[in-house]
Amino acid sequence: MTTVSSRTESSALTAANALPAVDKDFVQAATMASSTHIDAAELAHKNTANADVRSCARHMIVAGGGTIDR
């Protein structure tokens, strides 16, 4: 599973760099969207009995940088 620290890493890096406010807002929104995407895939992977759904969820998790707990 992803951790809170990995989810906020982009925000922390953004805070350390001098970016225009619009760019900071975009990075923060993109980070949150990615986290939500991974969380939804983890939920599907954990709760489904359908092999195709589980496979799709696994791909979504890995593509998003998450890990799968077995």
Position 70 in a domain? no
Residue range of the domain that includes 57? 4-11+19-63
pLDDT of residue 2 exceeding 70, the answer is no
Position 68 in a domain? no
Query: Which pTM was predicted?
Result: 0.57
Identify whether the C-beta of residue 36 lies closer than 8 Å to the C-beta of residue 51. no
Position 69 in a domain? no
pLDDT of residue 66 exceeding 80, the answer is no
pLDDT tens for 5-62 read 454 555 555 556 688 999 998 888 888 888 888 889 999 999 999 999 999 999 988 8
Query: What's the total number of domains in the chain?
Result: 1
Position 31 in a domain? yes
Position 56 in a domain? yes
Rounded to whole angstroms, how far apart are CA atoms 3 and 49?
Answer: 25
Identify whether the C-beta of residue 57 lies closer than 8 Å to the C-beta of residue 69. no
